[in-house]
Amino acid sequence: MDGGAPGIGTGSGGLSRLLGGASIPASANGVLVADLAALRRNYRKLREAAAPAECAGVVKGDGYGLGAAQVARALAAEGCRTFFVATLGEAAALRPAIGDAALYVLDGLSPGSAPDFAALTTRPVMGDLGEVAEWAAFCAALGMELPSALHVDTGMNRLGLKAAERQAVLAAPARLDGAGIDLLISHLACADTPDNPKSRDQLAQFTAFAAGLPPMRRSLANSAGVLLGSGFHFDLVRPGIALYGGNPYAERANPMEPVVRLYGRILQVGEAAAGETVGYGAAHTLRRATRYATVAVGYADGYLRALGATDARPGAVGAIDGAAVPMLGRVSMDLTVFDVTDLPPETAQRGGFIELIGPQFTVDDAAALAGTIGYEILTGLGPRYTRVYLG
Ligand SMILES: *Cc1c(COP(=O)(O)O)cnc(C)c1O
């Protein structure tokens, strides 16, 4: 922070200034900043890694918590023409933002939903022959084959054609006729650990199955799969987490640029003596006279309770203008407390903000501390945040 300018701990002005003048509503208690320029750079990086394959955007889970419409518009501006969501509800919400781009629903066709897919010009990713038959019958009644995708299970044991159905299809590929299938997909179970032999095995199964079908486009790679190399790219890649700056690897450094920052509003600054405790369960005893800031973000905002501090274990770390402020006590539903003792009093005041996720404490740091993955941190960031888009 340069001389005299307000810092983020002093009011909306400091945060607004940090965000290049973005307006912060006076009512905003939690602020999620999504840097769409960084998202676009991540998309370009993945697209270049996957070329000449097409690079789709996976925007399920409301764009991994960032806002699917804003994310998809940014990707579309970068040339992205194919999107994946999980549910038909997500497809309905997204369609107006993406014009006539191709939109696939990974959950596939629930019984009776074909007319809804057609009304949204949306494509089911079908995972069993019952779905294929229903879509083909719907297309026949319409007198027009509408495009769709077929999901083959190559070892995830989740969605997709199982071994018996694969054999039935290979014995009689005409069973797929009439359903407009123009894309074959499968999903990798272990791409985040690049040395795992399971990916090679899935690749071999995928290639063998595709070879027995009429020619169609093929897609195997999620984010981590893109980074496994060109043998995994086929015609279309489907990155999600890496677009949003999450680490596609389980145990390697994150090659992507961070996209998300999170801020919580300071509601109150208080003081407590050494020996007093903070928060539920009195689980954290102060070792010194402490000045603390209580922030209006909690586990109802996806700021996980597993990030809390106790006497046995430090918790998450926040930041004000680059200075670390450790968490005190457990995360409550709507509130979290931070230790601001070491900061000059004028830098942490009611109405200011503490950075909860950012360069000091990344999405990956939060995931590691909470015993989860960045995907769960991002998709859990709930509806109470004011979402601010940069770029
Ligand atoms: C979620 C998902 C993706 C994207 O995966 P990331 O690991 O986030 O890149 C791709 N394909 C399918 C089938 C998925 O469910």
Over the stretch 136-151, which tens digit does the pLDDT of each residue have? Answer: 999 999 999 999 999 9
* CB of residue 58 inside a 6 A radius of ligand 1: yes
- Confidence grade of residue 231 (pLDDT, cut at 50, 70, 90): very high
> Which ligand 1 atom is at minimum distance from the Cα of 223?
9
> Tens digits of per-residue pLDDT, 288-306?
999 999 999 999 999 999 9
pLDDT at residue 276 tops 80: yes
According to the 3-state scheme, what is the secondary structure of the chain? CCCCCCCHHHCHHHHHHHCCCCCCCCCCCEEEEEEHHHHHHHHHHHHHHHCCCEECEECHHHHHCCCHHHHHHHHHHCCCCEEEECCHHHHHHHHHHCCCCEEEECCCCCCCCHHHHHHCCCEEEECCHHHHHHHHHHHHHHCCCCCEEEEECCCCCCCCECHHHHHHHHHCHHHHCCCCEEEEECCCCCCCCCCCHHHHHHHHHHHHHHHCCCCCEEECCCHHHHCCCHHHCCCEECCCHHHHCCCCCCCCCCCCCCCEEEEEEEEEEEEECCCCEECHHHCEECCCCEEEEEECCCHHHCCCHHHCCECCECCCEEEECCEEEEEECCCCCCCEEEECCCCCHHHCCCCCEEEEECCCCCHHHHHHHHCCCHHHHHHCCCCCCEEEEEC
Q: Is 280 a catalytic residue?
A: yes
Distance CA 39, CA 385 (A): 19
pLDDT of residue 251: 87
* Average confidence (pLDDT) over 351-366: 96
Confidence band for 5, pLDDT divided at 50, 70 and 90: confident
pTM of the complete model: 0.96
Spacing, Cα 106 to ligand 1 middle (Å): 9
Residue 36 is predicted with a pLDDT of 98
> What is the average per-residue pLDDT within 193-211?
96
User: So what's the pLDDT on residue 24?
Assistant: 95
How far is CA 166 from each of CA 206, 220, 334, rounded to the nearest angstrom?
11, 17, 49
Q: What would the mean pLDDT of 345-349 be, rounded to a whole number? A: 96
Q: What is the CA radius of gyration of the chain?
A: 24
What would the two tokens of residue 253 be? 């450094």
Q: Candidates 238, 241, 247, 363: which one to mutate for ligand 1, based on the most atoms within 8 Å of Cβ?
A: 238
Q: From ligand 1's centre to the CA of 64, what distance in Å?
A: 11
**Ligand 1 atom 13: the closest Cα is on which residue?**
187
Average pLDDT value for residue range 331-342 = 98
pLDDT tens-digit profile of 90-136?
A: 999 999 999 999 999 999 999 999 999 999 999 999 999 999 999 99
Query: What pLDDT is recorded for position 52?
Result: 98
Tell me: pLDDT of 3 over 80: no
Residue pair 256/378 in contact by the 8 Å Cβ criterion: no
* Res 220: pLDDT: 98
Find tokens 């299809």 and name the residue.
169
- Mean pLDDT, rounded, of the chain: 96
Report which ligand 1 atom has the smallest distance to the Cα of 248.
Answer: 7
Instruction: Tell me how far the alpha carbon of residue 28 lies from the centroid of ligand 1, in angstroms.
Output: 32
43, 45, 60, 299: the active-site residue: 60
* pLDDT tier at 371, thresholds 50, 70, 90: very high
pLDDT tier at 1, thresholds 50, 70, 90? very low
Query: Is the CB of 222 within 6 Å of ligand 1?
Result: yes
CA nearest ligand 1 atom 4, residue = 240
Q: What is the mean pLDDT of residues 164-181?
A: 96
Ligand 1 and 243: CB distance under 6 A: no
